[in-house]
Each structure stands twice: as C-alpha cells, then as structure tokens.
Structure 1
Amino acid sequence: MTDRVVVAGAVYDRGRLLAARRSAPPELAGRWELPGGKLEPGERPEQALVRELREELGVEARPVERIPGEWPLMPGLVLQVWTVRLLSGEPRPLEDHDELRWLGPEEIHTVDWLDQDRPAVAEAARRLPAPGR
C-alpha cells in the first residue's frame, strides 16, 4: 500500500514565508506549520495544494517547484512541500488555523514549528531571498 500524501505550501511574499498556527486537533493546537492538506482521490498534488490554500486561507496561489524530499507525518502519511506564489487574495485563517504570521529569514525560528514540518521549513527558508533583495 502506498502512503497517502499531504501537500503543504511554502508561501512566499516580499521575502517572507507564511506560517500558520494550528487550532486543531488538540495535540497539534498552538504549533506552527506550512499550510496545506491531504490529497483527494484522483487529485494531483499541485491541484490539491491550490484547493487547500483556497479553503484554508482564502487565496489563489500557484505552486512553483517541489522542494526535494518527503517527510513522514505518521504511519501511512507523508508530507510533500511546494514553493508557492500568491496570485490574489490576502491570507486569513479560515480552517484549522487561528493565526497566520509572515516570517522574514531572521524570524523563521521564532515560532514553534511542528516537528515534522521543521526539515521542510529549513529547505523553504533557504529559498527565501536574502534580506534587502
């Protein structure tokens, strides 16, 4: 049996990365993650990411490139991350999150990321433009 895929977006805007604080389930509440969600049957990962960002944040976004790697979330579930460019809308926490924060390169480690998101966040942070550019 193949693992189910969860997609997440490293959403960039003006040299910052978007972090989303979980409001549920209780064991994850208060921790930070890259926004996204599970693939629906028949969906390609990029399609799922566009849908999830629309549902969770109320934005239209375009996946740009997949960050190499795949991270286990729990048995049977793996995380894949894409860099994302916002096309329209201002992100707001609509589902599963109670706060959003834009983090510059020097602020990436100021929030308590979910453990399984940390390697992907490190890769996403490396892709941020240097401050002042």
Structure 2
Amino acid sequence: MSRKPPKNFEWEAFDSPGAPGSGRRHMAKKTLKKLGRARKLAGVPFIITSAYRTPSYNTEIGGVEGSAHTNGRAVDISIKGMPWARVVLILVALVLGGFRRIGLAKSFVHADDDPDKPKNDYGIATWDYMDDERHKA
C-alpha cells in the first residue's frame, strides 16, 4: 500500500519516538485529511511535535490513558515563539479544517477528532494547558 502523507508533511513527523513507521501505520486517514485541509487554509507551516504515540510512550510522558494520540487521532502543533495573530490563524484553520477538539498551551496546539472523546452540546471541546505545560490529552 502506497499511502501518502498530507501535502507539506513527511511521515516521520507522525511517528512515535522510537517507533519508525508508526505514524504511517497508525494515523487515521480522516485526521490526516483534516490536518492537510487546515494546513492549506492557514497557508503557514505546521510543525508537528507529537502525533501517533505508542501506549508505552504515552505512559512514559504522563499522557492520559486512552489518549487520542494512541489511536492516531491527534496532533500537536508547535506555536512556540509565534506571534499571537499566527496562533489565531492556526486555530481558525484547524476548526475550518474539521477539528472539533482543540487544546491550547503556551508552546503548542493540540487538535484531535476522536469520536469517542467528550464534546459539548455544540459538538466541540476546547481547553487549555496554561497552568500545566505537560501534555496529557
């Protein structure tokens, strides 16, 4: 199977540390499609800092059990040092691209489309990590 990553991305960006090829095998097609759409809408580079995670790696870094990262339904995008206007552009592009679960930290944006994760009455969920920069989603 010759599966291609979304335009402007390399498969390695989606791999769990220490597990080469894991992103290609485990990232959900719908998630990648939404990410590609969001990247195109934003028109700025997305630097992926975390995508697929093996369950053991997720535990090692203190991620929550059942994290959307462990089923290939989540990405974290670096916003470290970015002007606030670019951060807002990325957030809007993620929503317009189809993501309905978004978390904001000082240095990254988490986006996932895990259908089994909670959302509000409008079908969205937002949160922040401002008090604790460790990623737990």
Give the TM-score normalised by structure 1: 0.26
Higher strand share: 1
Higher helix share: 2
Kindly indicate whether structure 1 or structure 2 has the higher relative contact order, using CA contacts under 8 Å at least 6 residues apart.
1
